[in-house]
Structure 1
Amino acid sequence: MKVFVAGATGAIGRQLVPRLVAAGHEVVAMTRDAAKQDALRGLGARPVVADALHAEQVAEAVGTAQPDVVVHQLTSIGPMDLRHFDRAFAMTNRLRTEGTDHLLSAAQAAGVGRFVAQSFFAAYERTGGPVKTEDDSFGPGPAKEMRETVAAIRHVEESVLAARWTEGIVLRYGGFYGPGTSLGPDGEQTEAVRRRRFPVVGDGGGVWSFVHIGDAADATVAAVERGRRGVYNIVDDEPAQVAEWLPALARTLGAKQPMHVPQVVGRLLTGEVGSVMMTELRGASNAKARRELGWVPAHPSWRQGFAELVA
């Protein structure tokens, strides 16, 4: 198949493109930066330069490529500040709203048969059990500082699933870790743990679901090849509370154990978003992706995956 990848130079795009090529697909890789074309050729793709926020450029790129599948991995995340979460995701939110609309319009005009888009697990409702499935809804009241981000995620999902002219597939990825991510060997979050600047807030009862960036790319290839309309959680097998995984990560990195701060102090330090993620977040189940995509993560647990950060 011919696969058009938007966001081909991001953390997951750099993992995804060579896997698609290795699987025998012809890959057209979109980048906004002309200087990155050689890197994409090196991954085995045919590069095309277009600004995802420019409708005419996207329409020309997709129309010229005439792909069978479009994969939407567009993100542009600024320096992370949990107190101003939406500010850090401002450009990504535009890519998830305007960029999604432009890609869908171009894909419809080109008669694309399958459209795969990136989403995120952390918007699930924060009530009920600790682990959510694709049938569970997003919470009605996201933290104040991430309302725009959750609204943008909703836009991606609702727009893709409403596109009845194509096989619309949404992948709710877990928290990425591994090469090229903020939780990579030299990533922003990893360094914060090493420097003891990533505390456990309150009881640390928030449940996180992770996925190694390579496993996320493998799951995306599976969705490209055999995904059916709907939503898939792309996470590992072991959702875990912050109070469990964060100290374990510190031990793996050879760092001092993280500080514990009361929730009221944590809220002052990290805002409502940080407090919610540390104490109320719900994890996700990968049972549907295993069953319907035939995907099995090579890193079934963050425990093995985190060990690679220091290998």
Structure 2
Amino acid sequence: MKIVVIGGSGHIGTFLVPRLVRAGHEVVNLSRGTRSAYVEAAEWQQVRQIAADRSQDGFDDRVAELRPEVVVDLICFTLESAAGLVERLRGEVGHLLHCGSIWRYGPSHKAPIFEDAGTPPIGEYGINKAAIARMLKAETDLVTTSLHPGHIVGPGWHPIGPLGNLDPAVWQALSAGEPLRVPGIGAEHLNHVHADDVAQAFELAIANRDAAAGEDFNVVAATALNLRGYAEIAAGWFGQTANLESVSWEDFRASTSAEHADASWAHLMRSQVCSIDKAVRLLGYAPRYEPEAAVLESVRWLIKHGELDAQLK
């Protein structure tokens, strides 16, 4: 099939586009810039690259004019944008797949979270992702599927770390056996997923269109890490034991930049653990990576490329 991937040079597309090429599809990558994928792959030589900015008038027309059978939208963040694309593709495209987020759910009241459950979302990003998912599920004239990844991790970028933020000082403390201040008791959960496992889910949804039609799927690793376990596992990679100091949120904010403290709060107050039962049952989804293995792959890349000053055991 001819498949247009919108935003195919990012985290998910890095792995999805080569998968689609290997499966025999004709792939067009529609991206705003010319940045290459995070991981090199020979399959990219067979991909047609088109520069296009979603914010510009006529973007939806450009997608439709490529006459794809499938469109994979990896970079849609507003209901207005999603609805415009749906309206333009009705009657012209066989299947539209959208990348959502587990932040379509709010703070966890019960684990695991199933697709038809969860508390109402909070924050502009989550509220928009939830609204898009509802709109797609209600669509009757175009076959749609929304897939909702957790905290995406992989080689080439920093993972959400053991405090729920991107602060490199967390890794430095763990690698050196230094005290790490943890807000609360570290019982909150983070639900990671390797970018290639997200790509796997998209590929399966394309291959199993009838099963995926009109559905929404959580796409995360088979397990989730709580902060204490994550920190202890990560410290072990450096031959250390995690030295965790439980502090109040007030004290944590006093010793952390506002940016990192806000990110920690956003992740930890949600403390989400999502079920993948539906994706396993309907699509055959089988994540290859446990969350700690996915994060370790990212950490290895960061050390190798000089973005993290530490040494693995």
* TM-score category of the 2 structures, normalised to the smaller one: 0.7 to 0.9
Shift of 1:51: 0.9
Is 1:262–2:248 an aligned residue pair? yes
SS of equivalent residue, structure 2 residue 98 = strand
- 1:120 and 1:62 mapped to 2: Cα distance? 23
2:191 is matched with 209
2:131 is matched with 155
SS of equivalent residue, structure 2 residue 72 = strand
1:101 is matched with 83
Shift of 1:304: 2.9
Amino acid at match of 1:249: A
1:90 is matched with none
Shift of 1:30: 0.2
Contact 1:204 1:242 in 2 (8 A): yes
The correspondence for 2:281, drawn from 251, 275, 291, is: 291
Shift of 1:123: 4.1
CA RMSD, Structure 1 to Structure 2 (Å):
3.0
The correspondence for 1:46, drawn from 25, 45, 48, is: 48
SS of equivalent residue, structure 1 residue 274 = helix
TM-score of the superposed pair, with normalisation by structure 2: 0.78
Structure 1 residues 84-140: Cα deviation after superposition (integer angstroms, max 9, x where no partner): xxxxxxxxxxx43443234323322x6212111111113423243232111213435
The correspondence for 2:292, drawn from 280, 303, 307, is: 303
Shift of 1:262: 2.0
- 1:116 and 1:65 mapped to 2: Cα distance? 16
Instruction: Give unmatched runs, 5+ long, in structure 1.
Output: 76-94
Shift of 1:237: 1.0
Contact 1:34 1:49 in 2 (8 A): yes
- 1:253 and 1:55 mapped to 2: Cα distance? 51
Aligned ranges for residues 1-311 of structure 1 at < 5 Å?
1-33=1-33, 42-59=44-61, 61-74=62-75, 95-108=77-90, 111-139=92-120, 142=122, 147-183=123-159, 189=166, 191-196=168-173, 199-226=181-208, 227-253=212-238, 257=242, 259-260=244-245, 261-266=247-252, 269=256, 270-271=260-261, 274-275=264-265, 277-278=267-268, 280-299=270-289, 301-308=290-297, 309-310=299-300
Amino acid at match of 2:111: P
Shift of 1:263: 2.8
- 1:236 and 1:151 mapped to 2: Cα distance? 23
Contact 1:121 1:174 in 2 (8 A): yes
- 2:242 and 2:267 mapped to 1: Cα distance? 19
Contact 1:203 1:279 in 2 (8 A): no
- 2:114 and 2:75 mapped to 1: Cα distance? 24
Shift of 1:253: 4.7
- 2:280 and 2:189 mapped to 1: Cα distance? 21
The answer to which of 209-218 and 120-129 deviates more is 120-129
2:309 is matched with none
- 1:236 and 1:67 mapped to 2: Cα distance? 30
SS of equivalent residue, structure 2 residue 110 = coil
Which of the pair is proportionally richer in helix?
1
SS of equivalent residue, structure 1 residue 196 = helix
Contact 1:20 1:221 in 2 (8 A): yes
Structure 1 residues 21-41: Cα deviation after superposition (integer angstroms, max 9, x where no partner): 11111111101125769x998
SS of equivalent residue, structure 2 residue 137 = helix
- 2:73 and 2:275 mapped to 1: Cα distance? 22
Change (3 A) 1:106 1:296: same
Shift of 1:8: 0.9
SS of equivalent residue, structure 2 residue 218 = strand
Which protein shows a greater Rg? 2
Amino acid at match of 1:45: V
